[in-house]
Amino acid sequence: MTIGELTSRIKVHAGPMTATEVLRLPRLVRKELEVPIITHGYDPLLVGRDENLARLVIDDTFISRTHAVIEMENGKFYLKDLHSKNGTYLNEKKLRPGERSPQPLRNGDRIRFNIVEFEFVSPENNL
């Protein structure tokens, strides 16, 4: 499977937002895909294969139904593996099953769900 084919199997469940609103928010970026982490309800960003549960759906058998989550605590974002079968990585370091990233996410961090990689982009320098 090519990278383009894999990207086409990614869906985002989010409320209506303008491009300007998306660019003001912390987000995950993969090629032309921009995934806002915060939407109007401030729910954590659940990543997985299950379309009924995940907001970032990756339709690939190597992604767990509920693979990982990005959650906010005290205004900072953290990545947490949800006991995924094939792993969640932060800057090429694999998180242990159920482990949360020890430091908050920073602009430019590389996040990988098995082989599907995103970049964390934050419009604010302090994230």
Please give the pLDDT value at position 3: 42
Beta-bridge partners for 116: 113
Residue 27 pLDDT class (50, 70, 90 cuts): confident
At residue 60, does pLDDT exceed 80? yes
Beta-bridge partners for 30: 33
Segment 39-45 shows an average pLDDT of: 69
What is the Cα Rg of the chain in Å? 13
Q: Whole-model pTM?
A: 0.78
Tokens of 88: 């969640």
Residue 4 pLDDT class (50, 70, 90 cuts): very low
Residues 15/40, Cβ–Cβ less than 8 Å: yes
C-alpha dist (Å) from residue 59 to 7, 8, 20, 50, 54: 10, 9, 27, 8, 11
- Which of 70, 61, 69, 65 has the alpha carbon at shortest distance from 49? 65
Please give the pLDDT value at position 43: 78
